[in-house]
């Protein structure tokens, strides 16, 4: 469906955002507010031998200086608790917090942070993934065995978690293959980099604290404050004003507790706003670097029979939410292919780099890039067209996947056909242009969520949700669901959201789960209200409740549209007695079972509501410089039922542009001291509107009953997954071999081309 054909409605947050009247966290200003600044480690691995804050505390205008000695000694992080609010004894990456200051203005706060005396004894730097896993390597965490790990997570020295998938006899299957292809691919880490740097404001009223913060996950942020400051949830309120993007970089709990602790110590409100450099160095959510080794066996006719894989993932110094990444990476290296035997092992490896975490589709773009580049190598080995090779080996309805899950009706084959057909694949192109193709998958994440729906006495509606709007439009789409169930218009509904004290629990804007999970809750709550309206209308219209239809703002008797009463009138009647209010919890579907042996899988081997995609990307190469230009992208996605086509198209386009950056320019560069070298936007090249290709999007709509409302699946992360892979396969056609490092910068492309020609 073309975008011009899609019905439009005004997003509830749209006018504030486009007019500039909307407030973000950095816009919050309170009476008596102080400014927070942090003192960072500045070194990658060292023991603290001296920490003296006396000079900073004595400076005029300084109200509070905090270190690890001033807050509860809590070791936290989900799954693998391995860090504290402030460094104690040892610092493990350059952006680790040593101290925090609250002062009357930014200059004073920064001067006080700089006046803190910290002396170190250097410790060995661990920054090579393979060396870190070797016997006898220096340890990033000397006391790793004491960490109170939860869930099905396997730990080893310098390995925060380990996962594996094993199905069938890989050695026997490889021995029976006609060809065996081995590949290695290495991906640099990169950043989420939303336009809005993070900001936090905290204010205490007695023993209660209110925190305004730029987070994607307000309930997680509240939980982090409660855990680290030893407070009950009833004493912590987290409010998110408008959020200026996140892309996963604002998932989890970050600096809310630090600012709250400063505000309590200073007895004044305190505000923190990051600089761009701080945004790139301090948070524990960046895209992880990876090494991927893949070996696949194929028959001469192109039948894929076996795959083994070894994956090392750069965890950085602390684990954040990355404990489940090995399972995700293993699934993506297996890919949406059918084969008799699989053995893939993945390790999350501690280094002295900035911690990794949930950036849009964690591990998937890198793993897909490696796998789909490898897939083109397999096709070349057996002399098949890459698209035909995929058609011969992809999963489909009734076929068992790599982990032993048998799939219902899915749209992967239709996605492959649609994307290729819409592209220039197979056309005669100039010798410096080519089209690369890649397929991908991504799981949906069913989970708990809650919503309230009510109709006020004037007939207007309200959706009260714990869901978080990070720019995707998912929360805005909830109005469409309520309106559909109640026979009203989306504009008839107001939204109350992003406030932990006003709404029921939701996981937050993470894992493409907002519409999937909170959408079910909204539909469930709206149906409760619909039943109440039908009961009221039935009394007034002398009909049975089951015969009442809600449509066009009215309740009418089925088959008799003129025998009707308006919802406004019914709401007025309800206001005199029972209120029109419903609640929904969106009971999540169960995850499918698998037959493979999965170690440390964190429950992710069976995918509920799996999403599928194919991207065909037309690229042009300047052979003299190695510069690659993306000209055109044809994208086809199976994301189940599309509820809001305008938002869905926007998500695909945004995901593709993020994928172009990861493919060609975005990568963190480290020096020998394990410190980042490109922490500004002059050195870290983002894509801009001038780099945007033409994008064609088609949705293959197959409702999934084991997913979200009306059969919808997730969507926001999936478009980011196959883009780099498709670009890589186009570039490989032009240079004659794969570029085995990501990002595929002009220098790396040129050197690959030169290596091939020599």
* Arithmetic mean of pLDDT over the chain: 94
Q: What percent of the chain has pLDDT over 90?
A: 88
How far apart (Å, rounded) are the C-alpha atoms in residues 431 and 329? 35
In the structure, what pLDDT confidence band is assigned to residue 509 with cuts at 50, 70 and 90?
confident
Tens digit of pLDDT for each residue in 127-166?
999 999 999 999 999 999 999 887 777 888 999 999 999 9
Tens digit of pLDDT for each residue in 597-639?
988 877 788 999 999 999 999 999 999 999 999 999 999 999 9
Residue 756, pLDDT score: 65
How far apart (Å, rounded) are the C-alpha atoms in residues 125 and 60? 38
User: For residue 456, is pLDDT > 50?
Assistant: yes
Mean pLDDT over 735-754 rounds to 95
What's the start-to-end Cα distance of the chain, in Å? Answer: 48
Residue 6, pLDDT score: 37
Tens digit of pLDDT for each residue in 303-360?
999 999 999 999 999 999 999 999 999 999 999 999 999 999 999 999 999 999 999 9
User: For residue 655, is pLDDT > 90?
Assistant: yes
CATH placement of domain 451-584: 3.30.365.10
Residue pair 455/526 in contact (Cβ under 8 Å)? The answer is: no
Residue 153, pLDDT score: 79
How far apart (Å, rounded) are the C-alpha atoms in residues 531 and 628? 58
pTM comes to 0.96
Task: Tokens 């960490």: give the residue.
Answer: 147
Residue 603, pLDDT score: 74
H or E segment to which residue 18 belongs: helix 14-19
How far apart (Å, rounded) are the C-alpha atoms in residues 495 and 480? 12
CATH placement of domain 290-445+593-757: 3.30.365.10
In the structure, what pLDDT confidence band is assigned to residue 8 with cuts at 50, 70 and 90?
low
Alpha helix ranges (H) inside 423-518: 474-486
In the structure, what pLDDT confidence band is assigned to residue 754 with cuts at 50, 70 and 90?
confident
Q: What percent of the chain has pLDDT over 70?
A: 98
Domains 24-123+198-273 and 451-584 share a fold: no
Residue pair 625/730 in contact (Cβ under 8 Å)? The answer is: no
346: tokens are 């993945």
What 3-state DSSP class applies to 710? helix
User: For residue 248, is pLDDT > 90?
Assistant: yes
In the structure, what pLDDT confidence band is assigned to residue 9 with cuts at 50, 70 and 90?
low
300: tokens are 């001469």
Residue 758, pLDDT score: 55
Residue 17, pLDDT score: 87
How far apart (Å, rounded) are the C-alpha atoms in residues 451 and 524? 9
Mean pLDDT over 481-494 rounds to 95
Give the residue from 331, 288, 334, 294 showing the smallest Cα distance to 313.
288
Give the residue from 228, 335, 370, 276 showing the smallest Cα distance to 744.
370
Residue pair 438/371 in contact (Cβ under 8 Å)? The answer is: no
Tens digit of pLDDT for each residue in 396-436?
999 999 899 999 999 999 999 999 999 999 999 999 999 99
In the structure, what pLDDT confidence band is assigned to residue 574 with cuts at 50, 70 and 90?
confident
Rg (CA), the chain: 27
Order the strands of the 554-557 sheet from edge to edge.
548-551, 554-557, 560-566
Residue pair 230/72 in contact (Cβ under 8 Å)? The answer is: yes
Tens digit of pLDDT for each residue in 275-314?
999 999 999 999 999 999 999 999 999 999 999 999 999 9
Instruction: Parse the chain into domains and list their residue ranges.
Output: 24-123+198-273, 290-445+593-757, 451-584
Residue 340, pLDDT score: 94
Residue 578, pLDDT score: 66
In the structure, what pLDDT confidence band is assigned to residue 508 with cuts at 50, 70 and 90?
confident
Tens digit of pLDDT for each residue in 229-244?
999 999 999 999 999 9
Give the residue from 287, 365, 247 showing the smallest Cα distance to 721.
365
Tens digit of pLDDT for each residue in 161-213?
999 999 999 999 999 999 999 999 999 999 999 999 999 999 999 999 999 99
> Within 13 Å and on the Cβ side, how many CA atoms surround 429?
19
Give the residue from 241, 239, 254 showing the smallest Cα distance to 203.
239
Residue 25, pLDDT score: 95
CATH of 24-123+198-273, one of 3.40.50.1000, 3.90.1150.10, 3.40.50.720, 3.90.1170.50: 3.90.1170.50
Q: Extract the runs of DSSP E, i.e. beta strands, from 369-417.
A: none
In the structure, what pLDDT confidence band is assigned to residue 3 with cuts at 50, 70 and 90?
very low
What 3-state DSSP class applies to 533? helix
Alpha helix ranges (H) inside 80-178: 106-115, 129-133, 170-175
């Amino acid at each position: 469906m073309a975008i011009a054909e899609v019905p439009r409605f005004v997003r509830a947050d749209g006018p504030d955002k486009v007019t500039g009247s909307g407030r973000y966290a950095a816009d919050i200003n309170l009476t008596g507010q102080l400014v927070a600044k942090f003192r960072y480690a500045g070194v990658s691995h060292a023991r603290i031998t001296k920490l003296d804050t006396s000079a900073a505390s004595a400076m005029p205008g300084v109200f509070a200086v905090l270190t690890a000695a001033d807050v509860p000694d809590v070791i936290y992080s989900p799954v693998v608790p391995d860090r504290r609010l402030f460094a104690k004894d040892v610092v493990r990456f350059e952006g680790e917090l040593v101290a925090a200051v609250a002062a009357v203005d930014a200059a004073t706060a920064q001067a006080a942070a700089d006046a803190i005396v910290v002396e170190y004894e250097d410790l060995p730097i661990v920054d090579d993934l393979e060396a870190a896993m070797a016997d006898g390597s220096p340890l990033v965490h000397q006391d790793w065995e004491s960490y109170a790990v939860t869930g099905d997570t396997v730990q080893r020295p310098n390995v925060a978690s380990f996962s594996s998938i094993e199905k069938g006899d890989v050695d026997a299957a490889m021995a029976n293959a006609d060809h065996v292809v081995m590949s290695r691919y290495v991906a640099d880490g990169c950043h989420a980099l939303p336009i809005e740097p993070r900001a936090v404001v905290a204010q205490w009223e007695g023993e209660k604290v209110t925190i305004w913060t730029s987070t994607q996950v307000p309930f997680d942020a509240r939980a982090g404050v409660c855990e680290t400051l030893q407070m009950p949830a009833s004493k912590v309120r987290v409010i998110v004003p408008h959020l200026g993007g996140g892309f996963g970089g604002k998932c989890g709990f970050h600096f809310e507790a630090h600012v709250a602790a400063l505000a309590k110590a200073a007895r004044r409100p305190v505000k923190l706003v990051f600089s761009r450099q701080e945004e790139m160095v301090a948070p524990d959510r960046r895209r992880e670097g990876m090494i991927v080794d893949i070996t696949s066996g194929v028959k001469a006719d192109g039948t894929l029979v076996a795959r083994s894989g070894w994956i090392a993932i750069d965890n950085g110094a602390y684990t954040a939410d990355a404990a489940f990444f090995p399972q995700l990476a293993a699934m993506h290296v297996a890919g949406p292919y059918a084969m008799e035997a699989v053995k893939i092992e993945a390790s999350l490896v501690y280094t002295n780099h900035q911690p990794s975490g949930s950036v849009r589709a964690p591990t998937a773009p890198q793993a897909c890039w490696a796998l789909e580049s490898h897939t083109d190598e397999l096709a070349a080995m057996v002399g098949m067209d890459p698209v035909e090779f995929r058609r011969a080996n992809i999963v489909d309805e009734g076929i068992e996947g790599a982990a032993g899950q048998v799939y219902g009706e899915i749209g992967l084959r239709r996605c492959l056909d649609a994307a290729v057909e819409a592209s220039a694949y197979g056309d005669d192109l100039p010798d410096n242009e080519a089209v690369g193709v890649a397929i991908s998958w991504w799981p949906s994440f069913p989970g708990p969520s809650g919503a309230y729906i009510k109709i006020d006495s004037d007939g207007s509606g309200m959706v009260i949700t714990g869901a978080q709007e990070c720019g995707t439009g998912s929360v805005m789409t909830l109005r469409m669901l309520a309106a559909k169930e109640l026979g009203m218009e989306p504009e008839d509904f107001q939204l109350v959201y992003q406030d932990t004290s006003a709404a029921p629990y939701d996981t937050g804007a993470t894992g493409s789960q907002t519409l999937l999970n909170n959408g079910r809750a909204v539909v469930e709550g709206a149906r409760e209200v619909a039943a109440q309206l039908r009961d009221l209308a039935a009394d007034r219209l002398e009909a049975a409740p089951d015969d009442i239809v809600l449509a066009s703002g009215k309740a009418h008797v089925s088959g008799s549209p003129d025998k009707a009463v308006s919802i406004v009138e019914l709401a007025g009647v309800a206001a005199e007695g029972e209120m029109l209010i419903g609640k929904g919890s969106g009971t999540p579907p169960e995850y499918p079972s698998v037959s493979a042996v999965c170690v440390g899988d964190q429950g992710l081997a069976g995918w509920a509501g799996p999403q599928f995609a194919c991207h065909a990307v037309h690229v042009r190469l300047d052979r003299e410089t190695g510069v690659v230009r993306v000209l055109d992208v044809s994208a086809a996605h199976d994301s189940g039922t599309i509820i809001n086509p305008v938002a869905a198209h926007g998500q695909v386009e945004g995901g593709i542009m993020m994928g172009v950056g990861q493919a060609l320019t975005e990568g963190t560069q480290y020096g020998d001291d394990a410190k980042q070298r490109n922490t500004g936007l002059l050195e870290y090249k983002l894509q801009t509107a001038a780099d945007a290709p033409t994008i064609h999007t088609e949705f293959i709509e197959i409702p999934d009953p084991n997913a979200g409302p009306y059969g919808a699946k997730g969507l926001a992360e999936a478009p980011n997954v196959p883009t780099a892979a498709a670009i890589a396969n186009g570039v490989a056609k032009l240079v004659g071999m794969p570029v085995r490092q990501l990002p595929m910068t002009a220098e790396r492309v040129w050197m690959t081309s030169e290596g091939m020609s020599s």
